């Protein structure tokens, strides 16, 4: 669970972004803004959204100029209306302008992921125990931030990386010689603390995975009636995850079918950045 964003992990991401934007300086700001000029700026939501990234924005401005004063006006995970002030930053006008774009790029992206996640979570039937989870379809280098945003939107995180859990997919099955062979080989190699998850794309494969005692079965690209039959066949013997081609409109029917989790790549690979602006006070 990503409840916080440790600076030791986020600083390298933010420093790279600042170097990318400020490597040659900021000739516009240096030409137009006096060196000692003071300013107050406010981060404002331009539309209704789920806010995420307060500490990231704070740290961007601190890295540009430690003397800047940043104040968060809304907590991560809060659903806010248009025109809500999300944060303020005070101090050197030059420093604020130099950090503006990088800070906004991060919080627009993270708030976009959190907003998309909340939409999927809100689509679950009332009192549903089904989880909405992300996938590894994250922006290279930004997985830490995007997965934190999923949590703030009310979703859950899937395995962190290839070394954190066993997930046997279609190409593993082909290479191993079948579902049972892949599961048995994985069980021989995996730590005793690791559960075995196997992807299946048919009810026959599901039966084979259950016979091989898979702990979790991923139902890949199955229509709702097939998912319902998969739940009936499984009878609680394994955790069931629906994945592949998941649209917002299918969330409720899949949850009612009885799956334990619905993994949605779109939470991170297709969530649009939301509109957040930084406004200088006159």
User: Could you give the CA distance from residue 253 to residue 256 in angstroms, rounded to a whole number?
Assistant: 5
pLDDT tens for the chain, residues 1 to 282:
556 899 999 999 999 999 999 999 999 999 999 999 999 999 999 999 999 999 999 999 999 999 999 999 999 999 999 999 999 999 999 999 999 999 999 999 999 999 999 999 999 999 999 999 999 999 999 999 999 999 999 999 999 999 999 999 999 999 999 999 999 999 999 998 899 999 999 999 999 999 999 999 999 999 999 999 999 999 999 999 999 989 999 999 999 999 999 999 999 999 999 999 999 998
List the structure tokens of 103: 């800070």
CA neighbor of 201 nearest in space, from 225, 216, 220: 220
Alpha helices in 23-169 (DSSP H): 27-32, 54-64, 93-122, 143-152
Those residues with Cβ within 8 angstroms of residue 208's Cβ, 6 or more apart along the chain or in another chain: 178, 179, 180, 200
Q: Among 240, 268, 253, which residue's Cα sits nearest to residue 113?
A: 268
Q: Among candidates 73, 34, 135, 19, which has minimal Cα distance to 276?
A: 73
Give buried/exposed letters for 187-219 (b at 16+ CB in 10 A, else e). beeeeeeeebbbbbbeeebbebbbebebbbbbb
Q: Is the pTM here over 0.85, yes or no?
A: yes
Q: How much is the pLDDT for 2? A: 57
For 226-240, b/e burial (b = at least 16 CB within 10 A) is: bbbebbeebeeebbb
- Annotated active-site positions, please? 101, 137, 169, 199, 220
Distance CA 144, CA 39 (A): 32
Residue 163 to residue 135: CA distance in whole angstroms: 14
Rounded Cα distance, 280 and 88, in Å: 10
49-50/79-80 β-pairing: antiparallel
In this prediction, residue 137 carries a pLDDT of 96
pLDDT for 224 equals 96
Q: Residue 7 has which token pair? A: 């600076």
Measured distance CA(223)–CA(163) in Å, rounded: 30
**Could you tell me the two tokens for 227?**
């998912």
Angle between helix 93-122 and 54-64 (nearest 10): 160
């Amino acid at each position: 669970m990503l409840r916080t964003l440790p600076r030791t992990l986020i600083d390298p991401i933010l420093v790279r972004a600042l170097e990318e934007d400020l490597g040659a300086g900021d000739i516009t700001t240096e030409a137009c803004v006096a060196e000692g000029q003071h300013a107050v700026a406010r981060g404002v939501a331009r539309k209704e959204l789920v806010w995420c990234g307060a500490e990231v924005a704070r740290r961007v401005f601190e890295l540009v100029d430690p003397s800047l004063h940043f104040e968060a006006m809304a907590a991560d995970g809060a659903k806010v209306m248009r025109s809500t002030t999300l944060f303020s930053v005070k101090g050197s006008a030059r420093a604020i302008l130099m950090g503006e774009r990088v800070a906004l790029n991060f919080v627009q992206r993270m708030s976009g992921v959190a907003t998309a996640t909340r939409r999927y979570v809100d689509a679950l039937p009332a009192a549903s125990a089904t989880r909405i989870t992300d996938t590894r379809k994250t922006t290279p280098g930004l997985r830490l931030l995007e997965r934190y945003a999923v949590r703030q939107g009310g979703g859950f995180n899937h395995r962190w990386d290839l070394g954190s859990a066993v997930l046997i997919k279609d190409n593993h099955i082909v290479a191993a010689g079948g579902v049972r062979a892949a599961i048995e080989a994985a069980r021989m190699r995996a730590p005793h603390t690791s559960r075995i998850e196997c992807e299946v794309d048919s009810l026959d494969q599901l039966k084979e995975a259950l016979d091989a005692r898979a702990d979790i079965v991923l139902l890949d690209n199955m229509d709702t009636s097939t998912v319902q039959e998969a739940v009936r066949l499984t009878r609680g013997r394994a955790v069931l995850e629906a994945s592949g081609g998941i649209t917002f409109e299918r969330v409720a029917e899949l949850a009612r079918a009885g799956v334990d989790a619905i993994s949605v790549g779109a939470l991170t690979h297709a969530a649009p950045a939301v509109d957040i602006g930084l406004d200088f006070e006159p």
